[in-house]
Amino acid sequence: AKRGLIEQALRAEEAAFASTLDAGMLRLDAMLAENGNALGGDQLFLLHDTFGCPPDLIIDILRERALEPVQGALDRYEALMEQQRERARGASKFAGSAGLPAELVASLHATEFKGYERLELDGCKVMALLKDGQPVTQLLAGEQGVVILERTPFYAESGGQAGDGGVLCSASGQLFEVADTQKLSAIFHGHIGSVKTGSIKTGDKLSARVDAARRQATVINHSATHLLHAALRAVLGEHVSQKGSLVSAERTRFDFSHFQPVSAEQLQAIEAMVNAEIRKNDEAEVHHMNMQEALDFGAMALFGEKYGERVRVLKMG
């Protein structure tokens, strides 16, 4: 069924790799000319990491020319690759990956999220506090930390949508400014920020107030992401699938699979479709149903996302 698409994708990949290789060969010739027909590990790494030329291919080309990499070049290349992998691991941050100490997880129950119904919630009990990643019994004025509540209206970053900001406060003068909300050990909402006034102890009951303007701006950008996805599929083809996204109050970024660059004409058509839907200003309908009902309803399940048996389905237009 997808034969034509597969052939097109393969041709595009082959052409792109041939172009990469041509550019890499010019770099290789320049490096060899500079270094007296010798190639070291740093150059091998640069050719691979920056210019996309696999080292085994480079070595084959050197052998065809009766040349060899300098002594220890492959070891140096491997060391640089390992450093690059470490940097990539350090930079990657997956929602819910931040873990809490096992004994703390065992003593708590999952945070109850109330943020779809309301943005303000009173009587939210503090289940745990973290400072520098370690459990503490209280946070003092001026200290930064994480507050974990029994229930909260704060959305924790997931599905590409950024976490909420706002405040946790009380009538007695406690004030904790929430800069971000993250999922911890996949089931707890961690309110990250700093104590502005008073002190906060485990067991305290606080009022949670989400920054409504920031949430609304984020929600609008999240809706735009879904409209964009639909327009991409309509203009470029049904093979287009979301591969990642970032939705914050300021902007939306959308990553998708396609086998060639989007042309100026296609981009114009996509923009026109999305803007037309935005101008219609149709009400977004929210439905709760089981997974099979959602698929029958026409909902699009994204590969790689985790869904429960009951899902929240959004319909626009």
- Predicted confidence (pLDDT) per residue in 157-195, tens digit: 987 899 999 999 999 999 999 999 999 988 999 999 999
Task: With cut-offs at 50, 70 and 90, classify the pLDDT of residue 97.
Answer: very low
Task: With cut-offs at 50, 70 and 90, classify the pLDDT of residue 95.
Answer: very low
Mean predicted confidence (pLDDT) in 63-76: 89
- Which single residue is written with the structure tokens 């485990």? 202
Percent of all residues in the chain with a pLDDT value above 70, rounded to a whole number: 96
Question: How many Cα atoms sit within 13 Å of 235 on the Cβ side?
Answer: 21
Task: With cut-offs at 50, 70 and 90, classify the pLDDT of residue 298.
Answer: confident
pLDDT value, residue 316:
87
Report the candidate in 71, 77, 12, 69 with the shortest Cα–Cα distance to residue 48: 77
Mean predicted confidence (pLDDT) in 273-289: 93
pLDDT value, residue 149:
96
pLDDT value, residue 305:
66
211-223 burial by CB neighbour count: b if 16+ within 10 A, else e?
Answer: beebbebbeebbb
Report the candidate in 264, 266, 281, 265 with the shortest Cα–Cα distance to residue 227: 281
The mean pLDDT of the chain is: 90
Q: Which of 3-17, 267-281, 296-310 has the highest mean pLDDT?
A: 267-281
Spatial separation of the C-alpha atoms in residues 55 and 52, rounded to whole Å: 9
pLDDT value, residue 213:
96
Taking 90 as the threshold, does the pLDDT of residue 152 lie above it? yes
pLDDT value, residue 91:
60
Compute CA distances 80 → 32, 77, 239, 266, whole Å: 20, 5, 36, 40
DSSP-based helix, strand, coil % in the chain, nearest 5: 40, 25, 35
